Amino acid sequence: MIDSGIEAEDNAERINELRRGFLGQKDPASLHYSSKLFLNENNDPFYQRNLLQLIAPQNEKMLIDSDRLLWQGFDFFYRKIEELFPNTTGAALATFLSKSIGDKMMFIKIEVEDELSAYILFETLNYRGVELTVTDLLKNYLFSLITPSDLRIAKNIWKKIATSVGIDKFSLFLRHFWISRKPLVRQEQLFKTIRAEIKSNQQVFDLLNDLDRYSEIYLALQDPYSVFWQGNRERIKRIREMKLFGIKQQLPLLMVAKEKFSDQEFDKVLKVISVISFRYNVVGSRQANKMEQLYNTIAQKIFNNTTTTAQGVFNGLRELYIPDADFKNDFSTLESYSYGRNKKITRYILFELENNIMQGGDRDYELDPATIEHILPENAGDNWDKDFPQTIQPSYTYRLGNYTLLEDHLNRACKTLPFDQKKQFYHKSQYEMTKAINYNDWNPTVLDTRQNYLAKKATSIWKISYVD
**In this predicted model, what pLDDT tens digit does every residue of 385-419 receive, in sequence order?**
999 998 999 999 999 999 999 999 999 999 889 99
Instruction: Give yes or no: residues 386 and 337 share one domain.
Output: yes
Residue 450 has pLDDT above 90, yes or no: yes
Residue 3 is assigned to a structural domain of this protein: no
Query: Residue 260 belongs to what domain range?
Result: 227-322
Q: Are residues 213 and 136 in the same domain?
A: yes
pLDDT value of residue 200: 94
Domain co-membership, 74 together with 141: no
With DSSP H G I counted as helix, E B as strand and the rest as coil, what are the percentages for the chain, rounded to 5? Answer: 65, 5, 35
Alpha helices for 261-323 (secondary structure H)? 263-277, 289-303, 310-317
Strands annotated E in 283-392: 371-374
One domain for residues 340 and 361: yes
Residues 346 and 457 in one domain: yes
Beta bridge partners of 335: 399
**Which of 289, 322, 355 is the last residue in one of the domains?**
322
Q: Is 159 a domain residue?
A: yes
Number of domains into which the chain is organized: 4
Contact 150, 206 (CB under 8 A): no
Three-state DSSP class for 370?
coil
Tell me, what's the pLDDT at 468? Answer: 56
When mean pLDDT is compared across 95-99, 179-183, 263-267, 398-402, the lowest value belongs to 95-99
| Residue 234 included in any domain | yes
Q: Is 285 a member of any domain?
A: yes
pLDDT band at 31 (very low <50, low <70, confident <90, very high): confident
Q: What percent of the chain has pLDDT over 90?
A: 68
* pLDDT attached to residue 352: 97
> Final residue of a domain: which of 220, 246, 281?
220
Q: Which of 322, 351, 375 is the last residue of a domain?
A: 322
**Is residue 110 one of the residues assigned to a domain?**
no
Q: How many CB atoms lie within 10 A of CB 133?
A: 13
- 246 and 147 assigned to the same domain: no
The distance from CA 48 to its chain's CA centroid, rounded to whole angstroms, is 32
CA distance 207 to 198: 8
- Domain contains 187: yes
450 shares its domain with 383: yes
